[in-house]
Chains A and B, each alone.
Chain A
Amino acid sequence: MSLNPSQQMLLQSIFSTGILNGSDIFKLLKKCCQEYDVLMEDQKNVLLSYVRTINEAVAVYGLRIKKTIDEVDEKSYYCLVNTVESNFTLLSTIYTQNELDFFKKLVESIITSEKGNIGSIAAVNISDNMSKKMSKSDAEDLLDRFIDGKWIGKTKNGRVYLGCRSVIELEQYLLSMYEDNAIRCNLCKSLCTQGSSCNKCNIRIHHHCARKYFKTMTGQKCPDCKTVWNEPEDRSSQNGQHDMDVDTSSSQSSTSERKRTSSHM
């Protein structure tokens, strides 16, 4: 099973970034096709066939390009994910063991939180509970690196949540480790760390799935127990208001936090 250079170029590029958003991947695809004079009439079909071919070729190496949707910005992303577990990945990593421990604790506190997100101050404070010491400023830098890599997402108001890359890569792990907290979306059946829940039967739905689902209906009802769904259709305006409140409080505490850390040093 071999790939043509144009497909190899796409694979290498996704490999180097780990994650690409929906518009970047089309730009990249165009570049890959131009470089090797491949005709590209229907973008979507070309992408589909490229991804399919690449996935067939790299499946035996435990890799796969998957499409996912970020729960907060609701944009689609393409990630290269591991599909098999093996022990030697431990040996090589761009993060140190301590940094990975921090990440593990961070994921745990996010997934066990009520709304699937925590404040960035709380996230940085996880460094207090580390077996090996980590300073607040190191923890802040580390958090930023995770956010850059899309492992962790951050809302405008400073709440951190599981980035789409973590969700897609760790889905199986999270579902088995945190049975009570990691819930699948009732509609698309993939892990939903935030979303909205039914008041009665406690099922959870991604916001983007909910929007699609309710669009086709007249009254909003829970897809499972058929009680009236309470979430207003226009989530953004309602949430935006709510986010504003959190915003001011968290940014205040974040500056005071920074002052505190700097005074320590």
Chain B
Amino acid sequence: MDRITSILLVMVAMTTISVSFVSAGGGPIYSSFNTPAKNIGNKDCSCKENSVLFLKEERATKLLSTFSFNTMAAKKSVPSLNQGDQDRLISEVVRFILVMDQKKYPIKKTEINKHILKEHSKSFPIIIGEVTKRFSEVFGFQLKELENKHKGSYILINELDCDSVDSHLRWSEIEDSKRGLLMVVLSLIFMQGNEITDCELWSFLSKLGIKLDQPHEVFGDCKKLITQEWVRQCYLEMTTVPNVDPPVSQIRWGQRAFLETSKRKMLSFVSKIYGIEDLSLWTSQWADVQDSEAVNEQSAENSGPSTSSQSR
């Protein structure tokens, strides 16, 4: 067990992945006090709600004066929503995403509509645009909509460089260890040609002392962590191969993995372990890196004008 821990520690130390966000300070505990406050006597409850409402109104008027310039364009297209309301909703959506992002599950448009926008759901496109801008300007995060089957879901990606060993972000020990294992899994998938079967993965992990049938000292239930948690967080994607018995699953990088790290970073990570400096020695992987970068550049050029107009 010591060996695997030390391997993982090395990997964590060299890890190049930049996981975008960590548990929000204060959120979790604070929330516990919402329930009791509502359960204790109606008198208490109603006055609390009133004061919150009042605060909201007050805040809205305050916001109106400070942020009115942001909403000039928006006001034209959605006349039913006044500037104050809109700014209040924008702030609430930002808060909502910050809190929800703690678990790193993609945040669905429907959730935002259900919990925050409610009857103003129609304004979602305008609001989310402004929210994206705020995240980038204030928090240094990119709010990114996922594609394909995850369309309509959003994740936060850190825009600041957090690749250095001595990162400004801090995780709990267990989070750090999990990130180390994630790095191992992602690099394995990449080195094997971007796709592996679950059997291949399990047999590789068993060499590191990670057994599927017994809980791991550090990671607990590894199968659950890999096939549920990381899939839900969009680090991995799993598909079942049709018409095969026993069933086989293919595991690939998920969208978050592509956004938070890159094939080049992954190859340099593996090269460091092997002590290789020249990345092009990995012929097929190197070609893959260059291909993916060419595709990225192209898509950046295509979407370039639209994003720049958005940020303005």
Q: Which residues of A contact B (CB under 8 A)?
A: 1-3, 5, 8-19, 28, 31-32, 35, 57-58, 60-63, 79-82, 84-95, 100-101, 103-104, 148-149, 151, 165-166, 169-170, 173, 177
Contact = CB atoms under 8 A, between A and B. Distances in A.
A101 B23 CA distance: 20
Contacts of B102: 92-94
A12 B30 contact: no
Given A8-B138, A13-B169, A169 B29 contact: yes
Contact of A89 (B23, B30, B166): B30
Contacts of B98: 61
B23 A18 contact: yes
Give the dominant DSSP class at A's interface.
Answer: helix
A95 B103 CA distance: 11
Given A15-B21, A90-B31, 17 more contacts: A1-B138, A3-B140, A5-B160, A12-B158, A15-B139, A16-B169, A17-B170, A18-B25, A57-B138, A81-B25, A84-B52, A88-B96, A89-B99, A93-B102, A94-B103, A95-B29, A170-B29
Contacts of A90: 31, 34-35
Given A8-B140, A9-B168, A91 B95 contact: no
B91 interface: yes
B interface: dominant SS: helix
Interface residues of B, number: 50
Contacts of B160: 5, 8-9, 12
Interface of B: 21-37, 40, 52, 55, 59, 63, 67, 87, 91-92, 94-96, 98-100, 102-103, 115-116, 137-140, 158-161, 166, 168-172
B91 A62 contact: yes
A149 B30 CA distance: 13
Given A8-B139, A88-B115, A16 B34 contact: no
Q: What 8 pairs between A and B have smallest CB-CB spacing?
A: A18-B25, A8-B140, A2-B137, A89-B31, A100-B32, A80-B25, A16-B22, A93-B28
17 contacts: A2-B137, A3-B138, A5-B160, A16-B169, A17-B25, A18-B23, A19-B25, A32-B168, A63-B26, A84-B55, A85-B34, A89-B27, A92-B99, A93-B27, A93-B102, A148-B172, A151-B29
